Structure 1
Amino acid sequence: MGRDFLALLRPWQWTKNLFIFLPLFFALKIFELDLLIRACEAFVFFCLLSSAVYVGNDFFDLAEDRRHPAKRNRPLAAGRVSVKQASTALVTLLFLGLTGSWLMGPLMLALSILYLLINVLYTLKVKHHAIIDIMFIATGFVIRIFVGGVATGVTIYPWIVVMTFLLALFLALGKRREDLIISTMSGEKTRKSIEGYNLPFIDAAMIVMAAVTIVAYVMYTLSSEVMAKFHTHQLYLTTFFVILGLLRYLQIAMVDQKISDPTEVILRDRFLQMAIVGWIISFGLLIYLR
């Protein structure tokens, strides 16, 4: 029961909330203990809200999940966690997450409520409409960036919002590709929005988003404003790891065809992990060891 309850909360999805720390990292204040503690508090409360969203989704998607080849094994869909138990978990998570957000300030509470509203809209309506569905997913990542900024009081620059949105769109397209393949192989329409996608479209969109993300990142690293802020002209070197990570994700999606969920892919693929760690270390050394 304990393992099933934990699976209901999807703790591996909490890695998405690491985006909360990015504003602090780019503000050159990641080692300021008081701000880091604030970011950690925001991370914890947002993890509670994220889990609440997943539990809520499982409620609304119960019939759909039972038809899905993989999702039918989820605790609620499989009957290993009762509706009453899941309801109790949902209320508890919402109470703790919103209370914690309220204690961090009105802006933090407003962002938390906005995040919940976007996910409710997604679950009830938006997820059935192709293209708009992945736009909403990407917006959820952008909200995490603003949560990090509000929690720590650091400035949110437009480029970090744009880059986060582009990257999230790219990752979401990979997930839709897998949904389409599963739907085709099983003969079941696992989600309504799949009708608005096909493999040529998704493959082309992923390639375009990867290219746009790379170009945007290169422009960012070569920006005179950015070079002046970080006092270095070498940030363009970190593009190597960005390209490496994006190409690896494309390879997993189009060659290996193994993207069940972007978060799970990142957690299990050593190549992607090395690209991410390589980027963090190289970028961090360039901006912190000036």
Structure 2
Amino acid sequence: MSAPIRDAHARTGRPLVLDADGTLLRTDMLVETFWAGLGSRPGATLAATARHIRHPARLKAALAEIAPLRTDLLPVEPEVAALAAAARAEGREVALASASDRALVEPLAAWHGVDRAFASDGDTNLKAAAKADALAAAYGEGGFDYAGDARADRAVWAKSHGAIVVGNRPAAARLRAEGRDVTEIAGGWRPLDLLRAMRPHQWVKNVLLLLPVIAAHDFALPTLLLVLVGMAGFSAAASAIYLVNDLLDLEADRLHPKKRLRPFASGAVPLTAGMAAAAALAALAFAIGALLGPAFLGVLVLYMALSLAYSLRLKRMRWIDIATLAALYTLRVVAGAAASGVEASFFMLVFIFPVFLTLGCVKRLTELTLATSDAPLPGRGYGRPDREDLLNVSVLGMVGALVIFFAYSLSAQGRALYPDSWILWLALAPIAWWLFRMVRLGWYGKQDYDPIVFALKDKRGIGLLLITLSLMFYAAGLWEQWFAAWRG
């Protein structure tokens, strides 16, 4: 806590009253319970929201009952917590006054050692004037200092003595203009953190949309431009789903050694900002989908629906989650075909699915290897004892992909596209080496939590993939054509 704040309140015995949402906490418990409820009991959550949307106190009570929160995990504003600690050290009473339901506020107050708690109770929504009246009745007008952050806190500041304003400069300026004793705490959030929550580094996975074009040897500029537009649409759709996934996974992320630092889990970005950004990105994705035609739009909608199902339920189901991950990667390839108008061959889709199945197992292997205990992963259906089963499935996927690739080299379509089909057999070596390397690194926990992102940054792995592509281009006679065109 800064010296001016400490000095301003060390000389008074007045109680210090803290708002919870947006003040002591860098989050909002009503929004937290809504998303926790969507993740655990979506039907009950949506029904309660529709039933009580016009009665905030009842809605808060209903959601708190549907999805109780681990209040000990909720992110705290450090400077406000330090202010409360300093007040307790001076012998002052510290109270918590929140519009959230008492089922959440009371455990929160107990966890932070607060002396007294004021909260909504299912009938009264303790906000604005209602909160001001309750505090004035308890301490008298001007008998307490109050820390808040929102427009609704104006009524409370009007009946307090000292005003602590968190992350609301206009409110602080207005109170100073009225001659009030104001202490300001910066609070707030950075747009850069919201961009981080969108995970732009994951957009690299959308290079998978290029696979149909590469397989069909169609490198015409108009075709590539269509695929690039499709990649932009899938990037927007994926970011929207990432935001929703993080909102649904708040508690699990806070229990994770690395994911607890994500913008929503850590409180760096308000949940409402994430909700607005997700809606805007989804709208952008649908607009791009409509521009590219009904086939691409249909694949995009299916991808987003399956991603949402994965976030809500499927990722908690053993083996189903890995199959779903493989399906989501495969849909990107189908989307590339739909965007460009190039046909995605049956053999290609049958080949890449076991490849992605292997990578899905690698993702879980990495998480389990890096886990600190044998307990199931938060929000997942696997524990460290499942590593060998995952290894076995990943090896089956790897062998299946190699067998299918060999069968493709003998097919009529394969021989038509690759006249020197025997060279495809040589390409089996770098493909096998690359898959084996990915599984091995996952087993030893030596790669990123997302194997696709890792693969696209791994220099050795990229080298193996480039060798594979070079051999395939040679089998197709493309190097000869390009060299002749360059010489001519």
Under a length normalisation based on structure 1, what TM-score does the superposition of the two structures give? 0.92
Q: SS in structure 2 opposite 1:198?
A: helix
Q: Which runs of 5+ in 2 are unaligned?
A: 1-189, 481-488
Q: SS in structure 2 opposite 1:194?
A: coil
Equivalence map 1:29-48=2 (5 Å): 29-30=218-219, 32-48=220-236
Q: What is the CA–CA distance in structure 2 between the aligned matches of 1:28 and 1:209, rounded to whole Å?
A: 26
Instruction: Indicate the residue corresponding to 2:244 in structure 1.
Output: 56
Equivalence map 1:42-191=2 (5 Å): 42-185=230-373, 187=375, 189-191=377-379
Out of 115-124 and 204-213, give the one that drifted further: 204-213
Q: Does residue 272 in structure 1 map to residue 465 in structure 2?
A: no
Instruction: Indicate the residue corresponding to 1:12 in structure 2.
Output: 201
Report the CA distance shift for 1:197/1:145 in structure 2 as closer, same or farther (over 3 A): farther
The structural deviation recorded for 1:18 is: 1.0
Q: Percent of pairs identical after alignment?
A: 26
Aligned AA for 2:391?
D
Equivalence map 1:229-268=2 (5 Å): 229-233=417-421, 234-255=423-444, 257-268=446-457
The structural deviation recorded for 1:197 is: 6.6
* 1:222 aligned to which of 410, 415, 426: 410
Aligned AA for 2:198?
L
Q: Which runs of 5+ in 1 are unaligned?
A: none
Under a length normalisation based on structure 2, what TM-score does the superposition of the two structures give? 0.56
Report the CA distance shift for 1:37/1:258 in structure 2 as closer, same or farther (over 3 A): closer
Aligned AA for 2:204?
T
The structural deviation recorded for 1:269 is: 2.4
Q: What is the CA–CA distance in structure 1 between the aligned matches of 2:411 and 2:206, rounded to whole Å?
A: 28
Out of 171-180 and 213-222, give the one that drifted further: 213-222
CA contact (8 A) 2:418 2:472 kept: no
Considering fraction of residues, name the structure with more strand: 2
Q: SS in structure 1 opposite 2:382?
A: helix
Aligned AA for 1:261?
D
Report the CA distance shift for 1:239/1:55 in structure 2 as closer, same or farther (over 3 A): same
Q: Which has the higher contact order (CA 8 A, sep 6+)?
A: 1
Report the CA distance shift for 1:256/1:132 in structure 2 as closer, same or farther (over 3 A): closer
CA RMSD of aligned residues (A): 2.0
Aligned residues: 289
The structural deviation recorded for 1:270 is: 1.8
Q: What is the CA–CA distance in structure 2 between the aligned matches of 1:229 and 1:264, rounded to whole Å?
A: 30
The structural deviation recorded for 1:190 is: 1.6
Q: SS in structure 2 opposite 1:154?
A: coil
Q: What is the CA–CA distance in structure 1 between the aligned matches of 2:295 and 2:439, rounded to whole Å?
A: 37
Q: SS in structure 2 opposite 1:192?
A: coil
The structural deviation recorded for 1:154 is: 1.5
The structural deviation recorded for 1:34 is: 1.0
